[in-house]
Structure 1
């Protein structure tokens, strides 16, 4: 990659990652208020709310609860800092009442707004090509702001050696980079008995896949709403069914690229860089996050991968929706007759042929940053892609009137029905996202008359 240290964007983004918080033997992340020495010593993440009480208890928002009785049994010798999230680090954390939510109960549940979280609101996620000129301008302005605005609530974890927690430290990151880092962090191989399982992670290749990504999009959407004060903001989707090429890969939308795959200077995202890029070894977490000039610029090469020359068809989506079982044993990338595995794209829509399809095929087709799955969330086309994947998930839920009971019991680490989704606060259980999107305050538009 070329050295871009002199670029304007380097100067602009640099201010977002100057401040570092160095902690000795610290092995968790996210809520800034819970990355203190006292929080880790007491294993407590119950920040004071505005009423100066933990979790807003004096105002009835929540309480500080001991979760250790719910600790998962029979966890093997643990080296991985994400197993049994978040109890591995915080035995005490906030339990929020009513419609309150957030790591300190200072926010509202998805779909609720207002100081008392008593205002229910439904937003509509629309296909990006349905947006007006001004709506597109707002979208790109908000994304630029998210990329350049330091998160006031969250920090990210970096380390040079996952075997030695004295190397762990936290740094500031922009709001969008926090989101991108979450995907990277959840995707790192699981470390058990000092051995990395290069296949297993917490966000893919198992029944947690649809819910993990649904929650991630909800997180970014809500953070942008709070950052801008715009409760009407909704992340759009990209309906890629039957596309012969990436029709939104233009400079007025998600960006065109040159022959080398670098986004053109006229793209909204031409100077975006990918946090955690350039270093994807299993034994480290994002060690280049505090060295901005070492990060790669976003790049794409749509339609140039020989085995991914086309995107999924209308029929592919229809056939995927015919699979009634949410997931099937062995609950991994070899599961047959599994809606989850076909949607994720390790299984063809016929339900019996193991091949790349659907979600995975889009990542491969787009190439570049999107094809480097751990860091793919750095490319904003990721959120449009996953918003559409979520729409298909929503159609499946509606078709079969599915509920949390459809989530199967399994022994995959981090993917059981009651496991907390890594690394979100408060604890969201995997099974709870097999619910209609209207319960989370959003729905999807109908786009294209073949739908």
Structure 2
């Protein structure tokens, strides 16, 4: 990587809305005393205030009140410990400096509606597939200029945190990894739930963060119409996209074929070392490669009947809002989603590393398509979000660990409101 920044103090990682997924470089370089202000300039104006984009304001400390053991966790109350003043963006603007259009909008003033189209990858032309792969690979290699990620070897000591450069793609890979880390009580790490899985916020977390990654890849590539395709695994009995025309063939050990560009990919966050945050090598050449073993275990791909059963569930989610929920479309579909991860084995079956495999997005976008179908057929809106009391998954809980507060319930509406349309034909 190009650059490392060492800071011997307690650092709270924050993940901002798009183009602010991670640490805004200007707000962390050279800083030794926390909390501090993070109100960057946009076109010469703080938070773009002169352009009507936002303003610098004191950041509220309380986002979601969690169990007492969680309050020591460095993600708790993000980003209140690190930044006491931040840009508060007006509608249609997001980002650390309010310099980016909210998904679904474009133009110099973010006042022009914009729609992207997610397609069935098996129905795309070879040229469309190659363009998608080229954009994804470019995003994997293009280093973000203004943002960095956090790497540390000791979450308990709270010292010697290190910031690293990361590519456009790796910002999401890191975000998914960090959202699934165990909670830090100050004395031990423990699993009770994580921010992205196992409860009502499963769909909303992945929906919003994937939309943000699409936005980042649009900016990195200059292709304003870039969108992730989906793979309809429920219509197949094996992985028909696991070849070099799509996401790469694999050998008996799960290694990607050298004839696929994905054989060059390395994971930004590798093995799950305890008490660490994304312990990674600075040189990508020393990082772990993708391993994928489709169908080499007892798991099978779910069928269309399995999916229809989930979509017929009478409730979006039910108490106790976890893996024990009954008559819950969320739990039913999340369970099918889990089965697909298990089917692939390799890193797809390791939650903290799964997003490092590009098939992760073909899978998750398909799951989001099902989520959208359920929303539309049941006419769901944010006010219909269940009264979940699970920490980090409630209706007014922020989608963590993000910088700006976007509530889970805001994602319970047709995805067309975020400027995305699914094309089945």
* TM norm structure 2: 0.93
Task: State the 1:244 CA deviation.
Answer: 1.2
Partner SS for 1:164: coil
Q: Which residue of 1 aligns with 2:87?
A: 94
CA distance in 2, matches of 1:214, 1:233: 16
CA distance in 2, matches of 1:371, 1:74: 28
Instruction: Give the alignment partner of residue 3 of structure 2, picking from 6, 19, 22.
Output: 19
1:410 and 2:388 aligned = yes
Partner SS for 1:171: strand
1:107 and 2:92 aligned = no
The equivalences for 1:2-81 within 5 A come to: 17-25=1-9, 26-29=11-14, 30=22, 31-38=24-31, 41-50=34-43, 52-68=44-60, 70-73=62-65, 76=68, 78-81=71-74
CA change 1:282–1:338 in 2 (3 A) is farther
1:185 and 2:163 aligned = no
Q: Which residue of 2 aligns with 1:425?
A: 403
CA distance in 2, matches of 1:32, 1:413: 30
CA distance in 2, matches of 1:444, 1:162: 41
CA distance in 1, matches of 2:91, 2:212: 19
Partner SS for 2:159: helix
Q: Which residue of 1 aligns with 2:220?
A: 227
Instruction: Give the alignment partner of residue 285 of structure 1, picking from 277, 297, 302.
Output: 277
1:313 and 2:303 aligned = yes
Partner SS for 1:393: helix
CA change 1:71–1:260 in 2 (3 A) is closer
The equivalences for 1:291-302 within 5 A come to: 291-302=283-294
CA change 1:39–1:114 in 2 (3 A) is farther
Q: Which residue of 2 aligns with 1:385?
A: 363
The equivalences for 1:294-443 within 5 A come to: 294-306=286-298, 308=299, 310-345=300-335, 358-443=336-421
Q: Is the 8 A contact 1:40 1:90 kept in 2?
A: no
CA change 1:33–1:207 in 2 (3 A) is farther
The equivalences for 1:149-188 within 5 A come to: 149-188=142-181
Q: Which residue of 2 aligns with 1:5?
A: none
Q: Is the 8 A contact 1:327 1:335 kept in 2?
A: yes
The equivalences for 1:202-241 within 5 A come to: 202-241=195-234
CA change 1:237–1:73 in 2 (3 A) is closer
Larger strand fraction of residues: 2
CA distance in 2, matches of 1:362, 1:185: 22
CA distance in 2, matches of 1:62, 1:173: 27
Q: Please, which runs of 5 or more residues in structure 2 have no aligned partner? A: 15-21
Task: State the 1:40 CA deviation.
Answer: 5.8
CA distance in 2, matches of 1:88, 1:170: 17
Q: Is the 8 A contact 2:228 2:362 kept in 1?
A: yes
CA change 1:254–1:325 in 2 (3 A) is same
Q: Is the 8 A contact 2:12 2:79 kept in 1?
A: no
Q: Is the 8 A contact 2:34 2:82 kept in 1?
A: no
Q: Which residue of 2 aligns with 1:123?
A: 116
Q: Is the 8 A contact 2:64 2:392 kept in 1?
A: no
CA distance in 2, matches of 1:74, 1:253: 42
Structure 1 residues 169-218: Cα deviation after superposition (integer angstroms, max 9, x where no partner): 21101111111011000000112353322242111111111011111211
Q: Please, which runs of 5 or more residues in structure 1 have no aligned partner? A: 1-16, 346-357
Structure 1 residues 298-328: Cα deviation after superposition (integer angstroms, max 9, x where no partner): 111110112x0x2010111111111132222
Q: Is the 8 A contact 1:84 1:414 kept in 2?
A: no
Backbone CA RMSD of aligned residues: 1.8
Task: State the 1:60 CA deviation.
Answer: 1.1
Task: State the 1:426 CA deviation.
Answer: 2.3
Q: Is the 8 A contact 2:168 2:220 kept in 1?
A: no
Instruction: Report the number of matched residues.
Output: 415
The range that moved more, 145-154 or 106-115, is: 145-154
Q: Which residue of 2 aligns with 1:242?
A: 235
Partner SS for 1:41: coil
The range that moved more, 28-37 or 109-118, is: 28-37
Task: State the 1:73 CA deviation.
Answer: 4.3
The range that moved more, 172-181 or 401-410, is: 401-410
CA distance in 2, matches of 1:115, 1:201: 37
Q: Is the 8 A contact 1:124 1:445 kept in 2?
A: yes
